Structure 1
Amino acid sequence: MTCMSKWIELENRLQKNETIDKGVQEQINRKREHWKKVLLRIIVVVRTLAKNNFAFRGDNEKIYQERNGNFLSLIGMIAQFDSVMQDHLHRIERNEIHYHYLDVSHEEQMSLVIRCVDVSTNQVKLEEFFLEFLKVDDTSGLGLFNVLKEVLCTLQLDIGDIRGQGYDNGSNMKGKHKGVQKRLLEINPGAFYTPCGCLSLNLGLCDVANSCPKAISFFGVLQRIYLLFSSSTKRWKVFKDHVEGLTLKPLSQTRWESHVKSVKAITYQAPQIRDALNHLENLGEPHNTKSEAESLATYEIENFEFLLGVIIWHNLLFAVNSVSKIFQREDMHIDVAIIQLKGLITFLEKYRETGFLDAMIEAKEVATLMEIDPVFCEKRVIRRKKQFDENISEEVT
């Protein structure tokens, strides 16, 4: 009866917004609205500078100092008339905010994001908040854990209330003996550790690609195509004149599943990109540019093996990227994540059996459209005379 009475009392308080967390939640909501307003003003300044092609930085990065660049100067000007930015800069001057604006200095940093349950309203919901970047001098498991403990204490967050933790797959974070997750579990056994699923997929893709020389060469060609057009406004205009849909994207070295954007542009626009390369070849460009354009058009885009690689990698990257995006949702639950991961495994197993044949059919359709023979180019076999003291094969590929 006592437990039932407490449950009924809690239900009544939830309906009347009279729970013990109400004050804390209201404070969090006020801070969230404040940071939204600050971010909105910063975005407006960034867009203005970018639109007019103005430089951001100056000789120093201190607010209210001479020669601190266009960005900080505009922020300071806005603060003279706007109470939100005025309060924000006062916090910086009082050292209440240590990392702000365009902080891209060569320092090790760790981001802190928390997820919490909001029970201050009738509808209980899960919230996620980015708090700040943490400067890190010691990147060992102990050093990172000490920084985490210190910031939680500063924010008046009880480490004993943590019910879950998740990091990347670095040994200093996930290490089962000296990692951050292990040290936190020693203090709070209820802080269940979950490795980052997105990063695990990312590392899996990276290992797959780096273990195959043809895959390394394939993505190298994608980057060559992008660099050829993007390194000159004149060449980029040639590309835009021939390709009206998706633009070329550079390859990301940290987010492998995002390679799908780079592959997608060629998957659906290979004929148009070939035409752009042919036009560039006949344009009055330097010899190295003409040679690169001819090489990419003739030996890569018009190569059936390359077209097949485009189809295969697009299918694989699209499947992994779709699951990765679902993993990053704020309302993601672990049971749903497990279902999605099992579905991806099933797709990969099926693709191993039938994917190559399906990709061949699709690649032949593209080759026919581009008037390319759907055959693989045979490598020339080098024959040399075997010396009297050799026992190896006389044919070397």
Structure 2
Amino acid sequence: MIELLAEFDPIMQEHTSRILQGETHYHYLSHKIQNEMIQLLAQEVKGLIIDRVKDAKYFSFKLNCTSDASNDEQMSLVLRCVNVSESPIRVQEFFIDFLKVYDTSGLGLYNKLVEALNVHGFDIDNIRGQGYDNGSDMKGKNKVYHVSKLLQSEDMQIDIAIRELKGLPSFLQNYREVGFQDAMVEATEIANKMEVELIFVEKCVVHRKRQFDESTGEDVTQSAEENFKNNYFLYIIDQAISLFSTSFEENFGILWNFEKLKAIEPEKLRTFCNNLVNITIYGENSDLNGDDLYEDLCMVCRNLPEGINSVIDVLTYIKEMEGSYPNAWIAYRILLTIPVIVAYAK
């Protein structure tokens, strides 16, 4: 490759000529030098990413454990933040590192995470969300090893950076009707690649003797596929809809539902603001003030231009006001920082 470049670059041509004629022994073409240059470039890119996350202040992390080619357990670390230093404002996620993991318990993963964040100089108090794959043992145990009053991410949620939040319930409801067939198609493709047969095993039906006072009507018998659809697939979708409606929407829904924000009663809005302060508080400190947030949202409602229909648009408008709504500015950044989908190491 160097010789090919030398055909078009006179400086490289002179360099290779001196090497071939023995005029220099420092050619910088060994694999060690190449690896060092790659490492320097990687450090530069990582440094830019770390600076961007620090500039955003609030961030979330997502962890995923998997085995590498040598069967050593490693954990991928992904950070999510709202980049407000550039225009347009963007929600961004960055891969930071693969971390060698020797203890896959909840405490072990926690210690490894804290160690990695400290190495890169991140302030743990600025964490506002977390997400894990199903294989990580940390979820469910993090109440013991809690970090910065983290906001829990639930299984089976959709990334707000991919889909508008106000479209989620209808999306999930539609997916409930047509998603099973889509899932079956994908499962069939996976089964074919693995050269296995996709079948639903029928369980042996045990008929018990009826008592004299029981109804004589026939019981409805479902096929194995129908049983899977009704008792597993649809159950998960219904849980997702319920969790979204009762958890995320309850805590943040007013921020992205602009019609509801404009129509809400003052006392209910004040209650919402105080609740938001409570769930984002760490120790005795919070970056939000309930009364100030209430005033900010009231002003935003009155002054928000026509045509704004997304959270990013609202955040952009608040940024253009140059500090007029400081608490609303923080609340919307936290909203977009929270991850609602788990990480995958691919």
Answer yes or no: same fold by TM over 0.5. Answer: no
Higher relative contact order (CA 8 A, sep 6+): 2
TM-score (norm 1): 0.28
TM-score (norm 2): 0.32
